[in-house]
Amino acid sequence: MDIYRFFHPHHNPRLISTPVRQIELVELEQAASELKKAIVRAQLRLEKKQVSPLMPSHFIDVIKAMDFVSRSLQTLCDAHPGDNDLDLSELVQERTGCSGWENWSTLLQEQLSTVKPISPMAQPIGRQNQS
């Protein structure tokens, strides 16, 4: 998936007027987590064969920063009130025609089909049974 395309207003003008969705925050957190894993793998490769002037120790601060980013995004995800089924339906429509999102769109559409019919006053997904 081309995550940059969906988070940069130049490529997606809808972002200028649409509030951030919880699922988008989750996607950013997952991207940060994957980036951290890639950085750790690069560090391990340097431990096996160093490329002067880079040293494995140069990655320590970057890895710590990525931990901070991941934890901060997780905090934002937890604080978000949740996405309602209308927001998720709009997101599916937005991404359905984009390459790389076919499986994602199909899975989310299946999830939405198990939820009550879409209404503007719908409760956020994952928050329906909180009483």
Q: What is the CA radius of gyration of the chain?
A: 19
At 11, is the pLDDT very low, low, confident or very high (cuts 50, 70, 90)? low
The pLDDT of residue 19 is 87
The pLDDT of residue 71 is 96
Burial class (CB in 10 A: 0-12, 13-18, 19+), 62: middle
The pLDDT of residue 98 is 72
Q: What are the extents of the domains in the chain? A: 22-82
The pLDDT of residue 115 is 61
Cα of 55 vs its chain's centroid, Å: 31
Residue in the block written with tokens 């040293």? 55
Number of H helices, E strands in the chain: 4, 0
Average pLDDT over residues 56-69: 94
* pLDDT 10s digits, 67-86: 999 999 999 999 999 999 88
The pLDDT of residue 81 is 95
* pLDDT 10s digits, 87-129: 888 888 877 777 777 777 787 788 777 765 544 444 444 444 4
Residue 131 confidence (pLDDT) above 70: no
Summary mean pLDDT of the chain: 80
Average pLDDT over residues 31-59: 90
